[in-house]
C-alpha cells in the first residue's frame, strides 16, 4: 500500500468528541457534555496506559551504515525502535535481514 509520508492529521479533542457524538447519532447539548466526554477520554487513556496499551506514531527512517562502526545513535525524535532491517545491495541483487530485538540494545 502506498503512503503519502505525511502524518499531520491532527484533530483537537473537541473535534474528536464532536465526531463521536455524530457517529452515535447524537449532538452535544451543553458544555457539560463536552466536559464529561473529556473526563471520560482521560480515564480511558489512563486505563489503556495502565494496561500497557500505548498510543504512538510510527515513522520510517533510513540510515547509511559505516564499516567498522558498531554503535549508532537513534534520531532525536525516536522514543523506541520497533523494528530494524539491514538491506545490502550487491550488483543487481538485494539482500534484506531483519535485526532481532535483542540486538537493538547497541543503538542508543
pLDDT tens-digit readout, 6-53: 666 677 888 889 999 999 999 888 889 999 999 999 999 889 888 888
pLDDT value of position 30: 86
CB neighbours of residue 50 within 10 Å: 8
For the chain, the structural domain boundaries read 13-51, 58-108
pLDDT value of position 102: 55
Exposure of 15 in the CB half-sphere (CA atoms within 13 A) = 4
Match 463521536 to its residue by C-alpha cell.
Answer: 20
Residue-wise pLDDT for 68-96, tens only, equals 888 888 888 777 777 788 888 888 888 88
Amino acid at each position: 500500500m502506498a503512503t503519502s509520508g505525511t502524518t499531520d492529521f491532527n484533530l483537537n479533542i473537541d473535534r474528536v468528541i464532536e465526531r463521536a457524538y455524530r457517529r452515535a447519532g447524537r449532538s452535544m447539548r451543553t458544555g457539560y457534555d463536552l466536559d464529561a466526554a473529556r473526563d471520560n477520554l482521560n480515564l480511558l487513556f489512563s486505563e489503556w496506559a495502565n494496561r500497557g496499551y500505548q498510543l504512538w506514531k510510527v515513522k520510517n527512517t533510513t540510515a547509511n551504515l559505516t564499516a567498522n562502526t558498531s554503535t549508532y545513535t537513534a534520531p532525536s525524535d525516536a522514543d523506541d525502535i520497533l523494528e530494524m532491517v539491514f538491506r545490502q545491495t550487491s550488483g543487481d541483487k538485494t539482500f534484506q535481514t531483519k535485526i532481532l530485538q535483542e540486538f537493538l540494545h547497541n543503538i542508543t
